[in-house]
Amino acid sequence: MSKTRDYKYVPLPKSFYEVTPVQLARKLIGTLLIRIIDNKPLVARIVEVEAYGGRDDPASHAYRGMTGRNKVMFNSGGCSYVYFTYGMHYCFNVVAGKGKQAGAVLIRAAEPLEGIDQMKKHRNKEKLHDLLSGPAKLCQAFLIDKSLNGITLDKPPLLITKESIRKSAPEIITTPRIGIKAGLNKKWRFIDAESTFLSARRSPDI
Residue of 14, 178, 187, 204 that binds DNA (CB under 7 A): 178
Select 12 or 46, whichever has its Cβ closest to DNA.
Answer: 46
- 123 makes contact with DNA (CB under 7 A): yes
Choices 15-23, 83-91, 96-104, 154-162 (CB under 7 A): range interacting with DNA:
83-91
Which amino acid is it at 68? G
Residue of 1, 38, 86, 206 that binds DNA (CB under 7 A): 86
The distance of closest approach from Cβ of residue 39 to DNA in the complex, given in angstroms and rounded to an integer, is 27
- Could you give the CA distance from residue 156 to residue 79 in angstroms, rounded to a whole number? 12
- 143 makes contact with DNA (CB under 7 A): no
Select 156 or 179, whichever has its Cβ closest to DNA.
Answer: 179
Select 68 or 99, whichever has its Cβ closest to DNA.
Answer: 68
| 173 DSSP β-pair partners | 191
Choices 20-28, 60-68, 95-103, 111-119 (CB under 7 A): range interacting with DNA:
60-68
Q: How many CB atoms lie within 10 A of CB 169?
A: 8
Residue of 80, 97, 134, 189 that binds DNA (CB under 7 A): 134
The distance of closest approach from Cβ of residue 104 to DNA in the complex, given in angstroms and rounded to an integer, is 13
Residue of 84, 113, 170, 176 that binds DNA (CB under 7 A): 84
Angle between helices 135-142 and 116-123 (to 10 degrees): 110
Q: How many CB atoms lie within 10 A of CB 78?
A: 24
Residue of 143, 172, 180, 193 that binds DNA (CB under 7 A): 180
- Could you give the CA distance from residue 188 to residue 144 in angstroms, rounded to a whole number? 24
The distance of closest approach from Cβ of residue 138 to DNA in the complex, given in angstroms and rounded to an integer, is 7
- 67 makes contact with DNA (CB under 7 A): yes
- Could you give the CA distance from residue 201 to residue 157 in angstroms, rounded to a whole number? 31
Binding region for DNA (CB under 7 A): 59, 64, 67-70, 84-89, 91, 123, 125, 130, 134-138, 140, 178-181, 199, 201-202
